[in-house]
Chains A and B, each alone.
Chain A
Amino acid sequence: MFSLEGITDAIYSWLNSTFNPTIALLIEFAIVVVCVIGLFAVLGLVLVFMERKVSAYMQIRLGPNRVGFKGSMQTMADTLKLVLKEGLVPDGADKFLFNLAPFVVMIVAMLILAPIPFARNFQMWDINIGVLYVTAVSSLSVIGILMAGWSSNNKYSLLGAMRSGAQIVSYELSAGLAVLSIVVLTGSLQLSDIVNSQQDGWWIFKGHIPAIISFVIFIIAVTAETNRAPFDLAEAESELTAGFHTEYSGMRFALFFLAEYVNIFIVCSIGAILFLGGWMPFHIGNWEAFNHVMDFIPSSVWFFGKVFFLIFLIMWFRWTFPRLRIDQLLNLEWKYLLPISMFNLLLMTLMAIMGWYF
């Protein structure tokens, strides 16, 4: 059976037998960096293409269909255009922060990738506080956005950045509480532990209604955290033209664009790990035959399938709903999502203590 675990093990043992441990570690680092950058590039291309096709079909259009097979090379062509474009820095901008901002956003997105298990035993860094690490680092991206908005010396950008700040700070809360409800059930912050605890069924099925509620809250909160419609206030195009990245062009703009999609991928993979079992195949209790058939599908396919399902869900939101207003956005968080998720966490704790889950 195809497995990524075998490949990594083979590389690891070959490196360690050929070189001394320090050099082997350095080479492993290099391989990981190349893989991450490659994943970023591929994700950017695939997700942008996916978004354009999804939006096109929902809007009864065809979408990109000229470059490459059914338009699949369209994003490649767009990237090429962006790379070749002049990266303009406005006159009144704070040059240092302006140039730094896209990289901050990008690096934050890269950092969160570290503890994510992509397949069975295929993980860069199995840190024992994985969930905490992810929630802590993901809230750093707002710094990049604030930096971009402030340094552009543009009022639209500033308004967008400030909106984004208020939004991310408040939605971190309910996202955190939703994540916490699963941590309560598993009793571990380690992402691999959380995946392994879903051996006999995913938490969304095992955790009854509270798990479903926290899943819904999680999806809403992460949509807001990644600045996606209907919470795209930071870049609300009909109000703020392009929000915090109004002044960006060329490759710097492409980095923001890419970071947005990578962030979606990351939050969706966190959602998939916590609620849908990560790379764990679909298992039903003790139906041995069924479970065995499901095991034949490689774990990476399971993982990416779930992640892309969640990404599709978020895209579906974007192309259906109107945008909220800033005060309604905060109302939704503080008056609806936060009370519900706090109550839900209480319920979950009760369930965990009494052992009312499967």
Chain B
Amino acid sequence: MFEEVGTTTEGDLVINVGPQHPATHGVLHLVLTLNGETIKNVEPHLGYIHRSIEKMSESLTYRQFIYVTSRMDYLSSHINNHACALTVEKGLQIEVPARAQVIRVLMDELTRLASHQLWWGAMAMDVGALTPFFHAFREREAINEIMEETCGARLTMNYICPGGVMIDLHPNFQRKVKEFITLFKSKIDEYDEMVTGNIIFQNRMKGIGLLSKEDAISYGVSGPAARGSGVSCDIRKLYPYEIYGSLNFEEILETGGDCFARYLVRFKEMRQSLSIIEQLIDNIPEGDFQAKTKAVLKLPKGEFYSRVETARGELGVYLISEGGTTPYRVKYRSPGFSNLSALNHMSKGYKLGDLVAIMGTLDLVIPDIDR
């Protein structure tokens, strides 16, 4: 696997990007075949931070295995937990209280916003602008503070438990979120000024990393990356879970299929998430935040599948139960893995600098790919 690679027989340059490289945002190893600056082939080598989360889950109880998924896609940890909790609830036939549902969706959208903000900063950093990164973190910090106050942690919250959420909302939650909405609304236009409208940025993005609708479907690309190619795949719209069916929001679709289209999808999704939060923040119903559950959960024998829309795409949780206290087998369909599979197709024929931009718009989180 790690043979001495220099040049191929055709005289192309073979170059190892990663596992330690600033562009890969983690420990992804790409073996590039370059003809001058033009990419001929990209071969991702995975598994540098494989922690066998699926296997680990087999020895954890249904309450415990939810929290491990925070470590998969750590930027949308709450949404991952949500997917697992939905699967367990499906098996147990628990009705989640209305208040808990609203809280979960609110947190989902806050997480999605935080994730997209970080992506926006990292995206700008990938194409060489370092300043937006810090500006993105300023708003992300506000979300993290909200998370810390209510959930007790900033990144890997573990706020969801089967049947609802762990603790009720903090009394300051509504006020803080409203403050955040006003703050972010004033700052999101600055994002446009600094990055979206910038001519250099647009030139770096437009017409790069083309992914046709057909290819996006056949590679199993999901989330904003697929919606940039015009594939309607928002799970929140197609298979609404919790209260998403009753909410008023748009599925952002762009037809360009290039990096800029994917950029715009994520950027517009930030505004959509903001609108969802605005709809919900004043309408949190009173009531229980958690359904009554037994101390030891036992799922009936059978197979359960549920899916959610994380910040990166579709996360599916497939769970087989033998009737015991631990799952017999858990399989995660993580968005990052499928999205990465399209990288070779997308980046062939483009320049080395474009690869970084394409990887940026795919928004790869390596633990999500390796699991």
Interface positions of A (Cβ within 8 A of B): 55, 58-61, 155-156, 159, 163, 229-230, 232-233, 236-241, 319-328
Contact = CB atoms under 8 A, between A and B. Distances in A.
B11 interface: no
Interface size class of B (residues with CB under 8 A): 20 to 34
A230 B204 CA distance: 12
A239 B138 contact: no
Interface in B129-144: 129-131, 133-135, 138
Given A239-B353, A322-B128, A328 B135 contact: no
Contacts, number: 81
Contacts of B351: 325-327
Contacts of A240: 352
Contacts of B56: none
Given A238-B23, A241-B21, A322-B201, A59 B130 contact: yes
Given A232-B128, A321-B129, A59 B135 contact: yes
Interface of B: 13, 15, 21-23, 37, 124-131, 133-135, 138, 194-195, 198, 200-201, 203-204, 351-356
Nearest to A56: B134
Among B23, B128, B198, the one with the most A-chain Cβ atoms within 10 Å of its Cβ is B128
Given A238-B23, A326-B37, A155 B354 contact: no
B352 A60 contact: no
B130 A325 contact: no
Given A325-B351, A328-B204, A155 B13 contact: yes
A55 B354 contact: no
A322 B124 contact: yes
17 contacts: A55-B131, A155-B15, A159-B37, A229-B128, A230-B128, A238-B22, A238-B23, A240-B352, A319-B130, A321-B198, A321-B200, A322-B200, A322-B204, A324-B203, A324-B204, A326-B37, A327-B351
Contact of B129 (A233, A241, A322, A328): A322
A239 B356 contact: yes
A58 B126 CA distance: 18
A121 B364 CA distance: 59
B354 A320 contact: no
Contacts of B130: 55, 59, 319
Among B22, B194, B201, the one with the most A-chain Cβ atoms within 10 Å of its Cβ is B22
Contacts of B131: 55, 58-59, 319-320
A326 B353 contact: yes
Contact of A230 (B22, B124, B200): B200
A321 B355 CA distance: 19
Contacts of A155: 13, 15
B200 A238 contact: no
Contacts of B22: 237-238, 241
B37 A324 contact: no
Given A59-B134, A60-B138, A236-B353, A321 B128 contact: yes
Contacts of B127: 238, 322-323
A54 B134 CA distance: 14
Nearest 10 pairs of A and B residues by beta carbon: A323-B128, A59-B134, A322-B129, A322-B127, A325-B353, A322-B128, A238-B23, A155-B15, A322-B201, A322-B200
Nearest to A233: B353
A239 B201 CA distance: 16
B134 A60 contact: yes
Nearest to B355: A239
B231 to A, nearest CB: 27
Contacts of A58: 131
Contacts of A325: 203-204, 351, 353-354
B135 A60 contact: yes
Contacts of A327: 351
Contact of A156 (B15, B124, B198): B15
Contacts of B204: 322-325, 328
Contact of B23 (A239, A320, A324): A239
Contacts of B138: 60
Contacts of B355: 239
Given A321-B129, A321-B198, A328-B204, A239 B352 contact: yes
B129 A320 contact: yes
Given A241-B21, A241-B22, A323 B353 contact: yes
Contacts of A236: 128, 353
A238 B358 CA distance: 12
B132 to A, nearest CB: 9
A328 B355 CA distance: 15
B198 to A, nearest CB: 6
Nearest to A324: B200
A237 B353 CA distance: 11
Contacts of B133: 59
B201 to A, nearest CB: 5
Given A230-B200, A325-B351, A327-B351, 6 more contacts: A59-B130, A229-B128, A239-B23, A322-B124, A322-B200, A326-B353
Nearest to A59: B134
Contacts of B352: 159, 239-240
B157 to A, nearest CB: 26
B194 A320 contact: yes
A237 B126 CA distance: 9
A327 B147 CA distance: 44
B29 to A, nearest CB: 14
A254 B91 CA distance: 62
A156 B135 CA distance: 30
B259 to A, nearest CB: 12
A187 B15 CA distance: 51
Contact of B134 (A61, A241, A323): A61
A64 to B, nearest CB: 15
B134 A238 contact: no
A188 B84 CA distance: 77
A335 to B, nearest CB: 12
A279 B280 CA distance: 63
A55 B37 CA distance: 30
A52 to B, nearest CB: 12
